[in-house]
Amino acid sequence: MVKVDLTGCATFFDASGPDFAAAAAAHRMLSEKTGKGAEFTGWTSLPQDIRRRELKGILSIANKIRSRSKALVVVGIGGSYLGARGAIELLRPYAKEGDTRVFFVGNGLSADYINGVIEQLGDDDFDVNVISKSGTTLEPALSFRVFRQLLEKKYGSSAKRHIFATTDANRGVLHDLARAEGWERFVVPDDVGGRYSVLSAVGLLPMAVAGIDVQAVIDAAIETFQALDLRSPENPAWQYAAARQHLYGRGYGIELLACYEPSFRFMAEWCKQLYGESEGKNGIGIYPDSLEYTADLHSMGQYIQDGPRTMFETVVSFEQPLTELKVPFVMGDGDKLNYLAGRDFDSVCFTAREAVKAAHIAGGVPNIGVSFEKRDERGFAELVCFFEQACAISGYMSGVNPFDQPGVEAYKKNMFRMLGKPE
């Protein structure tokens, strides 16, 4: 189970410490559905719901895609792609020979990027999973046009059997199109916003195609949400939410989410969207940033150690490495590294982590540790449930609605006007 370590912040707290009574009240609002945006809290029961409703269908389509296609092109942006991309990079960072590769498009407007994916597909058989709750988001809708045409050129009238649409159950442009064209459909539940949707078909279909055991993910998620229902300051979600709100109140307005596993990069992007979109509103909110250690210590380390003292660090770690690698012994010791010979890289990394933590704390950066046992299906499920629940509690503690994103509309309005979209 997830563990939160607040010992690295203790000296930065004031005498009152984190407000666990406020965390308890926020948790109650979430579970009793009395808080703002309660109509979008369906993610709290999503694992059970998906197991009952759609999991079988997702697994069967994923198997079909894996057996017939070399690639799946996933079209989506924001909450409609970051979770799946994060999961695949975390759990299956290197595709093996014979695996169905998963490409992500529709998360930008770069012609070079889209053409690059088309080039990599070559003549390979492929399927498309277009994901959009609203169906009107420009970036995925434009990319989908391109890949739909490719499918039609390649497969003619059978193209429709290669398109899978994940969208609203009852309405929207994509829903209507899918129904009219006869594409297989999966659902983004009405009561689940994009950034909380990774444990629905939005995340699970691409993950299953990439070879992730999504059944194990869902089983572990059910257990984790049960465990996180604990009503006490022992609850790791309370600890994390209350600590970050306390630090925010003391002037630490930037959170650096760091991890020593490069494969965590897109999970960090997922976390950034989750927290940024949930909390940054009404003129308040912790700014979420992410760093990859130790690489970024050689680019951003100076700033963290010595820049403005407005940052706190949240370091995600996985306790058990999946593989071993020993530092080799070298005759002659020309590079003077034999003092490390025979040590596992993981133990060197652990020492580096402790050294960085001590240096940053001494430099005035509070440190929160969040650890999971292993970088596997269970670890992923725990990570998702923990960060989602803590985000909702933290958002309620700050007084915002953690489930809306009114600010995202501003750029869209300008863009559509400037592109000449008819009213």
Q: Annotated catalytic sites, by residue?
A: 277, 298, 412
- Which residue's CB is nearer to ligand PA5, number 8 or number 79? 79
CB 100 within 8 A of CB 210: yes
- Which residue's CB is nearer to ligand PA5, number 258 or number 390? 390
Which residue blocks in 10-70 are alpha helix, DSSP H? 20-32, 46-53, 55-68
| Residue nearest to ligand PA5 as judged by C-beta position | 194
Nearest distance in Å: CB 143, ligand PA5 = 11
Residues in CB range of 236: below 8 A, 6 or more apart: 1, 2, 3, 4, 228, 370, 386, 390
- Which residue's CB is nearer to ligand PA5, number 166 or number 314? 166
**According to CB under 6 A, which one of 51, 57, 64, 134 is a site residue for ligand PA5?**
134
**According to CB under 6 A, which one of 41, 69, 132, 200 is a site residue for ligand PA5?**
132
Q: How many contiguous H segments (helices) and E segments (strands) does the chain have?
A: 15, 10
Nearest distance in Å: CB 194, ligand PA5 = 2
Amino acid letter, 143: S
Which residue blocks in 1-136 are alpha helix, DSSP H? 20-32, 46-53, 55-68, 82-91, 111-121
**143 counts as binding ligand PA5 under rule CB under 6 A:** no
**166 counts as binding ligand PA5 under rule CB under 6 A:** no
The two tokens of residue 388 are 């989602």
**140 counts as binding ligand PA5 under rule CB under 6 A:** yes
Task: Using alpha carbons, select from 283, 287, 311 the residue that is nearest to residue 368.
Answer: 311
The residue range among 33-41, 111-119, 134-142, 361-369 that interacts with ligand PA5, by the rule CB under 6 A, is 134-142
**137 counts as binding ligand PA5 under rule CB under 6 A:** yes
Q: What's the distance, CA 140 to chain centroid?
A: 18
Nearest distance in Å: CB 51, ligand PA5 = 23
**285 counts as binding ligand PA5 under rule CB under 6 A:** no
Residues 77-106 as x/- pattern, contact with ligand PA5 by CB under 6 A: xxxx--------------------------
Element (H, E) at 396: helix 377-398
Residues 260-279 that bind ligand PA5 (CB under 6 A): 277
**35 counts as binding ligand PA5 under rule CB under 6 A:** no
φ, ψ of residue 337 to 5 degrees: the values are -115, 5
φ, ψ of residue 105 to 5 degrees: the values are -130, 175
Residues 366-405 that bind ligand PA5 (CB under 6 A): 405
**According to CB under 6 A, which one of 66, 85, 133, 175 is a site residue for ligand PA5?**
133
Distances (CA, A) of 322 to 255, 266, 342, 345, 374: 28, 19, 18, 12, 7
- Which residue's CB is nearer to ligand PA5, number 8 or number 194? 194
Binding positions for ligand PA5, rule: CB under 6 A: 77-80, 132-134, 137, 140, 193-195, 277, 405
